[in-house]
Structure 1
Amino acid sequence: MKLLDIVGRLSELDEADTIYVSEPWTENSDAMVAPQPEGALVPAEAAKEGLTYFLEIHIAIEVTEGWVASLKEKPSLSAVCERLIYYATYDA
């Protein structure tokens, strides 16, 4: 699964889960959604795939909704993905 696919399905995902993504983070990076393990930042399955912590689903939804509400037009899925990458890189 790619990060773009996950971003397109944010509203369908469990808000308690976390997004893990391969670096460098782009919309086409390999990604997965999984519960964050207790005592570790990355679940073993994600680490095995070379994925790193990106954002929790509830934070990704909050950031996306807040940003989209400030715009006059609905952004493309690619634009939303870029905004989340920016947030995860500089603001999280």
Structure 2
Amino acid sequence: MSDFDEEDTIYVSEPWTEDSDAMVATAPDDTMVPPKAAAKAGLTYFIEIFIAIEVTEGWIGSQKEKPSLSAICDRLIYYAINDA
């Protein structure tokens, strides 16, 4: 369960790593253009919350052991780069 609205979007500084600055915000007018606060912080579109939840829950469910937060982050970055 997420503490964020599933319709919100994650914005992250590039290059995307687990140490990148990030922000969750509502995308203006359903576009990938970051809101002013994200743009001012140098953050770019990463992925919508609902997609991040689906990807991580599905991947975690397929693992024999619960992955570390670092591994989950790496998997989400891989998805955002290669499959989104």
- One fold, TM greater than 0.5? yes
Tell me which of 38, 43, 47 is aligned to 1:51: 43
Which secondary structure state, in structure 1, belongs to the residue aligned with residue 24 of structure 2? strand
1:33 alignment partner AA = V
Structure 1 stretches of at least 4 aligned residues deviating more than 4 Å after TM superposition: none
Query: C-alpha separation between the residues in 2 aligned to 1:12 and 1:42?
Result: 20
Aligned residues: 83
Q: Deviations over 1:28-76 (max 9, x none)?
A: 0000000011164211110111000000000000000110111100000
Which ranges of structure 2 fall in alignment gaps of 5 or more residues?
none
1:25 alignment partner AA = W
Is 1:30 the equivalent of 2:30?
no
Query: Aligned residues: percent identity?
Result: 71
Query: C-alpha separation between the residues in 2 aligned to 1:58 and 1:22?
Result: 20
Query: C-alpha separation between the residues in 2 aligned to 1:13 and 1:67?
Result: 20
- TM-score if structure 1 supplies the norm length? 0.86
1:1-80, aligned counterparts within 5 Å? 11-38=2-29, 40=31, 41-80=33-72
Tell me which of 57, 71, 88 is aligned to 2:80: 88
